[in-house]
Amino acid sequence: MAIPPLLNNRNIEEFEAIMVEMVEEKNRFEMLFRSAKSNLNGLQEVIIQEFQFSENKNCFSSLMQKLNEKWSKDLDEMQKMASKLKILHEYTEKNFKSLLDCLHGREIKQLENNEREGDTFKKICEHCEEVVQELKRTAQHFRINEEDIRYQSSTLFENLDFGSEITAAIIRAAENLTKENDELKNENAELRNTIFILEKENIDLKEMIKMSIVQEKKFEEVENRLDRLREESERLIKACYDVDEEVDDLKNQILEWLNANH
């Protein structure tokens, strides 16, 4: 009986590599976000100081231009990072779902095959046991017949003289019975060997079922990690939108201040 091949872990390793890349992108995104936030806070402090201690509009305009350039550059980087993270997220979710569906189908099919093979093996074992019992009964019957024939032959030799032909026929009958008994013993040995092989294959099937359960747990772990990365990605994107709103508010305040000082 052929043993089905084990499931290949190459796709799982590819998705783990993708998730590692997503974690690295997320960390770079967080560093960029913190840097932009820090720069924004620093520029706000500088602007407040300039409002309090300087009326030089040219200096303020230059500072405002630098602020816009710095923020535009950081915003572009964050948007690129967010887009890349979103693409990775969509690609991973799509392919991971496809992989899970495929593996789930293969697992169901494999379990059904294992169950059918287990039932077949059980039936074969039951049939072999019946055959062995029947062979034992037949062998016992032949032994009884052989002993009876030998006893009858001995009695005939002692009490009657039926001639050489009858004696030869009895001897041939005894030899034939002995030969049939030997053949049955050989068949019994072959059946025992077959039972041993089937028992070994049954053990292999049980080991494969255990490995299938371990792989299923690993798939669940990978899926949980993907869910956590998805939540973290959504949180970072929302934080980016919040920073955009803060920048818009700051720009509005600066424009109001400029209009008030014209």
pLDDT in tens, 162-205: 455 666 676 777 777 778 777 877 877 887 887 788 788 778 77
What 3-state DSSP class applies to 24?
helix
The CA–CA distances, whole Å, from 88 to 46, 82, 84 equal 38, 10, 6
* C-beta of residue 238 within 8 angstroms of C-beta of residue 31: no
Task: Give the mean pLDDT of 59-72.
Answer: 63
Q: What is the pLDDT of residues 108-133, one digit of tens each?
A: 777 777 777 777 777 777 776 777 77
Confidence (pLDDT) at 88: 67
Those residues whose C-beta lies under 8 Å from the C-beta of residue 136, and which sit 6 or more positions away, are 188
The CA–CA distances, whole Å, from 71 to 27, 83, 214, 237, 247 equal 20, 18, 49, 17, 9
Inform me whether the pLDDT recorded for 68 exceeds 70: no
- H or E segment and range at residue 161: none
Q: Which of 3-7, 135-139, 153-157 has the highest mean pLDDT?
A: 135-139
Inform me whether the pLDDT recorded for 47 exceeds 50: yes
**Between 67 and 221, the higher pLDDT residue:** 221
CB under 8 A, 24+ apart: contacts of 36-45: 36/71, 36/74, 36/75, 36/78, 36/243, 37/243, 39/70, 39/71, 39/74, 40/71, 40/243, 40/246, 40/247, 40/250, 43/67, 43/70, 44/250
Q: How confident is the model at residue 1 (pLDDT cuts 50, 70, 90)?
A: very low
Among 1-15, 36-50, 167-181, 202-216, the minimum mean pLDDT is found in 1-15
For domain 10-261, give the fold.
Helix Hairpins (1.10.287)
- The single-letter code of the amino acid at 130 is E
For residues 105 and 102, give the distance between their C-alpha atoms in angstroms, rounded to a whole number.
5
For residues 140 and 118, give the distance between their C-alpha atoms in angstroms, rounded to a whole number.
33
**Between 182 and 62, the higher pLDDT residue:** 182
Average pLDDT of the residues of the chain: 69
Q: How confident is the model at residue 2 (pLDDT cuts 50, 70, 90)?
A: very low
Q: For tokens 């690993």, what's the residue?
A: 218
Q: How confident is the model at residue 249 (pLDDT cuts 50, 70, 90)?
A: confident
R_g (Cα) of the chain, nearest Å: 43
* Sequence spans of domains, the chain: 10-261
Confidence (pLDDT) at 4: 35
